[in-house]
Amino acid sequence: MPGGDNNHGEDGKSEGDAGEGSRLGVTKLYTLARMAPASRHQLLREPRLADMGDREFRALTSPLLLRTRKVTGNMRGHGLRMKVRAMYEALTAG
């Protein structure tokens, strides 16, 4: 609607609409956002992308992801402490 105060274009879609990406889940969109643009465009051409399961999608995308943060020893130690605490709580809860 020309001159209207809504955020929709002439085709009725929102200007912030993700288009083809809107069929993907949040996890897949976040994963795609972490990729280099060339890899992202290559992957978006995959015809079965929206129908893939999580494992298949992870196997396809894991070599293409950019690591934005180096994992430190403190991070690994914190993760280990959280796992041990969760196991301890699970074993003592019963």
User: pLDDT digits over 21-53, tens only?
Assistant: 567 888 888 888 888 888 888 888 888 888 888
Token pair 């280990």 in the structure block, residue: 80
Distant-in-sequence contacts of 21-24, Cβ < 8 A, 24+ apart: 23/50, 24/49, 24/50
User: pLDDT digits over 3-29, tens only?
Assistant: 444 444 444 443 344 455 567 888 888
Cβ(77)–Cβ(50) under 8 Å? Answer: no
pTM (two decimals)? 0.46
The CA distance from 31 to 69, in Å, is 15
The CA distance from 71 to 73, in Å, is 7
Domain boundaries, the chain: 19-69
Strand partners, 35: 65
